[in-house]
Structure 1
């Protein structure tokens, strides 16, 4: 568990180096949230790691300025892209998305097209694990539960006390996870 004052690529580079120094030889895949420089920090220490940008973050970013009246139709077309059974099908659906929406929302297609290499990594893996790979929602949900614990305790005697409290909360949270739902 790592606790830092702020999140930055430099911070994550230090974490990657620490993991390397502690004996982690390689990372197969890393799902990132779009933090600028984060993929480069990972690749600097683990150059063979496959990077998967969180599709949910990409969707939120893409639909930020979409009209309320059009959001359902646009999301239905976008879902055909990220939920496609193969990368080839996804690319065909992305082209169809462009034909349908590019005149109104050109930045959406452009963003997906430019980031495709890091958005489509999960297509290399079986359907059973793709959802675990293409989103950081599980980690974000876990972090949200930790924030709930610390939010009500603004003043703690020391950072050690905060870490101990987070550790105990983490142990409690992981007891509640239905591990049978997470298959590899």
Structure 2
């Protein structure tokens, strides 16, 4: 985490003059940018990746396509909610890549 923070601060120094507004925004959220370093190394890639979200979005798109359009916003909300519950039920017992190896460590975070 210290090395990542050092690289980030070098980035700030290099680009602050040209992109001061962007660097200011990054500095404001810096604690959140590096939070995944608090977790075991085995699962970091899964935490900062968007693969699981993209997969779920593709399921929603594929199932919504035959419907063409929804009469109200509430019907769309209900449809997405049902798809989310179905997706969760289908993958409830699945352990994502490397999470099984660090399950005890993760559980200790919530004790």
Asked if these proteins are the same fold (TM beyond 0.5), I'd say yes
Task: Measure the CA separation in 1 of the matches of 2:87 and 2:16.
Answer: 44
The C-alpha deviation readout for 1:58-109, integer Å capped at 9, x for no partner, is: xxxxxxxxxxxxxxxxxxxxxxxxxxxxx21111111110121111112232
- Aligned-residue offset at 1:114: 0.6
User: What root-mean-square deviation, in Å, do the aligned CA atoms of Structure 1 and Structure 2 show?
Assistant: 3.4
The structure-2 alpha-carbon separation of the partners of 1:168 and 1:149, relative to structure 1 and needing over 3 Å to count, comes to farther
Residues 102 and 109, structure 1, Cα contact 8 Å, conserved in 2: yes
Which runs of 5 or more structure 1 residues have no equivalent in the other structure?
1-86
Q: Determine which structure has greater relative contact order: mean sequence separation of CA pairs < 8 Å that are 6+ residues apart, divided by chain length.
A: 2
Which runs of 5 or more structure 2 residues have no equivalent in the other structure?
100-111
Say how many residue pairs are matched: 91
The structure-2 alpha-carbon separation of the partners of 1:151 and 1:92, relative to structure 1 and needing over 3 Å to count, comes to same
**Does 1:170 pair with 2:87?**
yes
Deviation >6 Å, runs of 4+: none
**Does 1:182 pair with 2:97?**
yes
User: What TM-score do you get using the length of structure 1 for normalisation?
Assistant: 0.39
Greater share of residues in strand: 1
Residues 122 and 133, structure 1, Cα contact 8 Å, conserved in 2: yes
The structure-2 alpha-carbon separation of the partners of 1:94 and 1:144, relative to structure 1 and needing over 3 Å to count, comes to same
Q: What does 1:46-125 align with in structure 2 at a 5 Å threshold?
A: 87-125=1-39
User: What TM-score do you get using the length of structure 2 for normalisation?
Assistant: 0.59
Task: Measure the CA separation in 1 of the matches of 2:86 and 2:31.
Answer: 36
- Aligned-residue offset at 1:154: 2.8
The C-alpha deviation readout for 1:13-55, integer Å capped at 9, x for no partner, is: xxxxxxxxxxxxxxxxxxxxxxxxxxxxxxxxxxxxxxxxxxx
